[in-house]
Structure 1
Amino acid sequence: MMSRQISVLLVEDDFLIRACLAEYLEECNVTVLEAESCAEAMRYLTSTRGLDAMITDISLPDGNGKALSHEARTLWPDLPVIFTSGHGASLTCLGDALRPKDRVISKPYPMAHVFDALKAVAADRSSH
């Protein structure tokens, strides 16, 4: 059992994936903010306090997860990011966007894998 509630920004343009993952994470006692685009994600990033991580799809309608992670880290320098993608090739383009505590998960994924990754990066974050 986690000692405190984790808070995450979930950026996913596919409504079904986003809704299912958000519901699953909330059942696991995670606070989930949902965004379907980079623009919506940036609104949360500029107005929210206490995020433990961001889960973002790499391909988004108004940009991509790699660029979004760079923008997010101008505001939240040590924010862990869990990148997801249904396109294996796009995972290899992350390069300098990946930090040691980040995770990469290919779609389709068991939702428990995302939760496990989230617990791992949140634990790393709370130990600082």
Structure 2
Amino acid sequence: MRQRRLLTLGAGLCTAAALGLVAPHSALASPDRCSYTSSTYRPALTHGDTGAAVKQAQCLSNMWGGQPPKLALDGAFDSAMLKKLQWIQGCHGLPQNGVIEGRTWQVLYHPALDCYDPYPA
């Protein structure tokens, strides 16, 4: 009985992921793999900013699996990054203001395992 429940749960998560409703954090991904800046360097970043801290945020946001596209690690806070960042903020119950600071940096380094918010079209 327990095995059937686990199989049903697994199938449901796979279906949700295929529909873009779940973005599981990759078990193999680690914030340690993003080394463009120190993990303690967390400046406020907004749309239009450039530099190594933006590249660090791009790398961290790319650890999310599922439907959201991978961002280019070019160090430019463009509209694609803004869209993905606002989605990540919403997944964590943060204001979807597109500003990377305090709590947003925290969730980039420690993302939720799953997000049931569909990625915006």
With the length of structure 2 as denominator, give the TM-score of the two structures.
0.29
Greater fraction strand = 1
Which has the higher relative contact order, 1 or 2, with Cα contacts under 8 A spaced 6 or more apart?
2
Q: Looking at CA atoms only, which structure, 1 or 2, has the larger radius of gyration? A: 2
Please give the TM-score of this superposition, normalised by the length of structure 1: 0.28
